[in-house]
Amino acid sequence: MKAKRVHTRTGSFPKFAVSRLLGAKAGKRWQVVCGDKNHWRIGFYSPAEARNKEVKQLEKHSCVELFMLLSGSQTLIIDDGKGERGLKLKPMQPVMVKGWHCGYSPQGPHKGVSLVVERDKFSTVYRKR
């Protein structure tokens, strides 16, 4: 099967008020909440999958991205070219991810929430596992 490629264009974040609390919704896999055009964007990642075997695809971006666990439990499946491995995230301990990756929330769907920081313009390739 051919890999799927998606391009994220600059300015790919919602409008937001400065010096005001930003809204985020529970139970969403991925939501971008703000950014700085031509530089970065920030979002929350909360996968519905609760086990490794439920994850059906991995993704890889054309740039690195930062993950930091905020609440619950979350494990990233990472493949940097040496095969897949699980990386259990720890609260307030960020990790930079460059290779193939995806995550799951061992405590149940959307029970783990990570802050993600990535560039405002990049491409993503998705592959099946």
The CATH number for 104's domain is 2.60.120.10
Cα gap 97→101, rounded to integer Å: 8
- Dig out the tokens for 43 from the structure: 């979002």
Q: What is the domain range of residue 94? A: 4-17+25-128
Number of structural domains (the chain) is 1
Q: What is the pTM of this model?
A: 0.91
Cα gap 3→21, rounded to integer Å: 38
Q: What is the pLDDT of residues 62-73, one digit of tens each?
A: 999 999 999 999
- Measured at the alpha carbon of residue 54, what is the angle toward residues 52 and 57, in degrees to the nearest 5? 90
Q: What is the pLDDT of residues 6-26, one digit of tens each?
A: 788 888 788 888 899 898 898
